[in-house]
Structure 1
Amino acid sequence: MTIGIAKSVLAGAVALALGTGAAWAQAKDVKFTLDWAVQGNHAIWTVAQERGYFTKEGLNVKIDRGFGSGDAVTKVASGAYDIGFSDINAVIKYNGENPTNPVIGVFQTFDKTLNSIITLKKSGIKSPKDLVGKNLGSPEADSSRLMFPAFAKANGLDPAAVKWTSMQPQLREAMLVQGQVDAISGFASTSVFNLTGVGVAEADIVVFSFPDNGLDLYGSTVIVRKEFAEKNPDTVAAFVRATVAGLKDVAKDPDGVIPTLAKVDPLVKQDLEKARLKFVLDRAMLTPGIKANGFGHVDPARMLKSIEVAAEAYALKAVPKPEDVYSTKFLPPADQRKP
């Protein structure tokens, strides 16, 4: 009797192991590109990876750093990556210029854009209008640079009244500190902490955020090629569910999720990224609208306004339709997305 039970238990264990192995072997490989170097807010996905949320959804996700929102959109559109993370405004630009191969947002991660113009007090730039005649620097694919015409219009500037200097991403803040440019464009969450990380006092940093200067636009979103979403709806929905699970952990315990970043970038500075994550949570991911409606919520009228503003800024000949920019059909129910 005892031997029979033992054999039964052993058989069950073997079957379970084989079943688990089969499930693991059948996991869907997904290549995922971030929008930038690994930072605090990217813990949404590193914690999802470490705590098994992707595995639970049947996904085997490879996370790579990015080189700008525009670059992420291009890589997803080309099929080099299955899923990406990018500023929604870069998506609008790409789709307006490439209507036959649209990329769509499937999880609006940032309720507000972090696009900004950043300078130092020593520049003497005290308002957006003081940018006239100045030299601004950024990588060419930077989303804040791409959206500068809209920022300029909202603040009564001629976009052509500034000069742009292009540089590699890792040189942007250094060139500002060295005075090689008067101001830079970028996400405040990137540039502010890169500057403080090299010894610039926070009080010496001047930030003109887009939302505080006339452009209440949506920010970064999880993106996929529309064709990929249509052919792989279960994969997209699974990735979104894992993202929600990761985001809930990030919101609940921002300090506790930071160590997971080291699995993607062992050189990450954890104290710096803790501060950066809290900065982003406060300004973009845990806004009053998100607290009321849940992660990933999109207001159709506000999204339409974002599309109109971006289309004008980029002088798009073809204005993308909302359904070609963003889809809510991959979201879990609202009650499952509450912080």
Structure 2
Amino acid sequence: MNLVKRVSAAALVAVLATGACDSGGEPETAPPDKVTYLTAVGAFGREAYAWVAKEKGFFAEAGIEVEIRPGSGTVENLGLLASGRAQFSANDLSAVMIVLGNGKYRQDVRAVAAIQQRTLNSVTALSGTGVETPRDLAGRTIGGVRGGAPWLLFPAYAKLAGIDPASVKWIGVEAAQMPKLLAVRKVDGVGQFVVARPAVEKAAGGRPAVVLPYSDVLTDLYGNALVTSTTVLREDPDLVRRFADALLAGLVYAVAHPAEAGQILRRYVPTADPVTAAAEIELMAPYIRANGLVGVFEPARVARAVAILRGTGIVTGELATTDLVAFDLVTGSVRSGELATTDLVAFDLVTGSVR
């Protein structure tokens, strides 16, 4: 990783102009870049890596001061990025494809690094309720975050799992309330990440959870990705690289030290349970690498994912796949017209050097 402290250009020019520094003096360092980062949803253990990157100094070493805010799902997060009220967010890549592929924020946001190499989306229920397979969801009520990835992606999952999406009712639920509402049978299932099992079982008093992973039928989909705005990409691609490197360093550290990561999350989010958070992080560990690398996108996989979502009908219109790598995104060129994978992912920003 190239996490280096930068010397202020203005300070360097001043030194050269005067010909020397004051005795014993050193060039001033530039003030850090200040950015706002949004988690995908809430402040759960699976999001702890951002606070780990902050606590362990990875952002500071990259010359970045980060305000971390709990996100509220893909649609709202992308809106905040597009409006400039946040500079970076974590979002499920499939949900981003759905939003961009149907015409919203298409020219405003791009994914720049893969946080999870496989989708973590699922419908989670409790044992003994009659939900054991996807077909058991017919006629049931599922709670989810409006505009969140599990809800947006469910029609594709349902079709490939052999059930009619219209036979399942979804209702809006705040992320923090999902485990509790499931435990008291206000809903039959919740749209959750597979790593949320410990939180669900804790809320249910230890009752086993039944997890129906979307990845069972949607095999080529990525999980969360780091997303930024095209404005930030155009105006400061170096900031994007530095932020991505630091965030991925936090991700790697968190999965290597889940108990410590849980404690770090607790320091920043007092309501967090560090034990449950650590358990979520442990469950996430197998998802963050592809061929030993962290952060990378494979263009062919992105193209296949787009094709899957088009094939199930939840992404409409033509999605060009001939231009797979967007090498020009960091210089500010943004294509118009049909959505290609280059309209979604800046493939060249993260090289996979973080292991």
Question: Equivalent of 2:138, from 110, 132, 140?
Answer: 132
For 1:317, the equivalent position in structure 2 comes to 317
Per the alignment, in what secondary structure is the counterpart of residue 119 of structure 2?
Answer: coil
| Aligned residues with identical type, % of pairs | 24
Distance 1:281 1:316, change over 3 A: same
- C-alpha contact 1:107 1:222 (8 A) present in aligned 2: yes
Distance 1:318 1:31, change over 3 A: farther
- C-alpha contact 2:183 2:204 (8 A) present in aligned 1: no
Q: Does 1:55 align with 2:60?
A: yes
Q: Which residue identity lines up with residue 301 of structure 1 in the other structure?
A: A
- C-alpha contact 1:119 1:205 (8 A) present in aligned 2: yes
Give me the whole-angstrom Cα distance separating, in 2, the residues matched to 1:114 and 1:82.
24
Further displaced range: 192-201 or 206-215:
192-201
Distance 1:167 1:132, change over 3 A: same
Structure 1 segments of 4+ aligned residues over 4 angstroms from their partners: none
For 1:278, the equivalent position in structure 2 comes to 282
For 1:5, the equivalent position in structure 2 comes to none
- C-alpha contact 1:210 1:216 (8 A) present in aligned 2: no
Further displaced range: 146-155 or 170-179:
170-179
Give me the whole-angstrom Cα distance separating, in 1, the residues matched to 2:250 and 2:116.
14
Using the TM superposition, give the Cα deviation of residue 249 of structure 1 relative to its aligned residue in structure 2, in angstroms.
Answer: 1.8
Gap regions ≥5 residues in structure 2: 1-21, 320-338
Backbone CA RMSD of aligned residues: 2.1
- C-alpha contact 2:183 2:203 (8 A) present in aligned 1: no
For 2:122, the equivalent position in structure 1 comes to 116
Distance 1:117 1:199, change over 3 A: closer
For 1:185, the equivalent position in structure 2 comes to 191
Question: Equivalent of 1:239, from 222, 238, 243?
Answer: 243
Using the TM superposition, give the Cα deviation of residue 266 of structure 1 relative to its aligned residue in structure 2, in angstroms.
Answer: 2.3
For 1:143, the equivalent position in structure 2 comes to 149
Give me the whole-angstrom Cα distance separating, in 2, the residues matched to 1:94 and 1:165.
19
Mapping 1:13-92, distance limit 5 Å: 15-16=25-26, 19=28, 22-23=29-30, 26-92=31-97
Give me the whole-angstrom Cα distance separating, in 2, the residues matched to 1:50 and 1:173.
28
Distance 1:296 1:112, change over 3 A: same
Give me the whole-angstrom Cα distance separating, in 1, the residues matched to 2:229 and 2:176.
28
Give me the whole-angstrom Cα distance separating, in 1, the residues matched to 2:236 and 2:294.
22
Q: Which residue identity lines up with residue 209 of structure 1 in the other structure?
A: P
- C-alpha contact 1:116 1:188 (8 A) present in aligned 2: yes
Question: Equivalent of 2:169, from 158, 163, 181?
Answer: 163
- Write the deviation string for residues 278-326 of structure 1: whole angstroms up to 9, x where unpaired: 01113x224xxx2x24101222221112122234442423532100111
Distance 1:251 1:165, change over 3 A: closer
Give me the whole-angstrom Cα distance separating, in 1, the residues matched to 2:39 and 2:235.
22
Give me the whole-angstrom Cα distance separating, in 1, the residues matched to 2:226 and 2:65.
17
Distance 1:51 1:173, change over 3 A: closer
Per the alignment, in what secondary structure is the counterpart of residue 234 of structure 1?
Answer: helix
Distance 1:100 1:125, change over 3 A: closer
Q: How many residues align?
A: 313
Using the TM superposition, give the Cα deviation of residue 171 of structure 1 relative to its aligned residue in structure 2, in angstroms.
Answer: 2.5
TM-score by length of 1: 0.85
Mapping 1:286-297, distance limit 5 Å: 286=289, 290=290, 292-297=291-296
Question: Equivalent of 1:207, from 181, 204, 211?
Answer: 211
Using the TM superposition, give the Cα deviation of residue 74 of structure 1 relative to its aligned residue in structure 2, in angstroms.
Answer: 2.2
Q: Which residue identity lines up with residue 308 of structure 1 in the other structure?
A: A
Distance 1:93 1:256, change over 3 A: same
Using the TM superposition, give the Cα deviation of residue 179 of structure 1 relative to its aligned residue in structure 2, in angstroms.
Answer: 1.6
- Write the deviation string for residues 21-58 of structure 1: whole angstroms up to 9, x where unpaired: x43xx211111111122222333221221222111111
- C-alpha contact 2:259 2:274 (8 A) present in aligned 1: no
Using the TM superposition, give the Cα deviation of residue 199 of structure 1 relative to its aligned residue in structure 2, in angstroms.
Answer: 3.8
- C-alpha contact 1:155 1:214 (8 A) present in aligned 2: no
Question: Equivalent of 1:93, from 94, 98, 123?
Answer: 98
Gap regions ≥5 residues in structure 1: 1-9
Per the alignment, in what secondary structure is the counterpart of residue 159 of structure 2?
Answer: helix
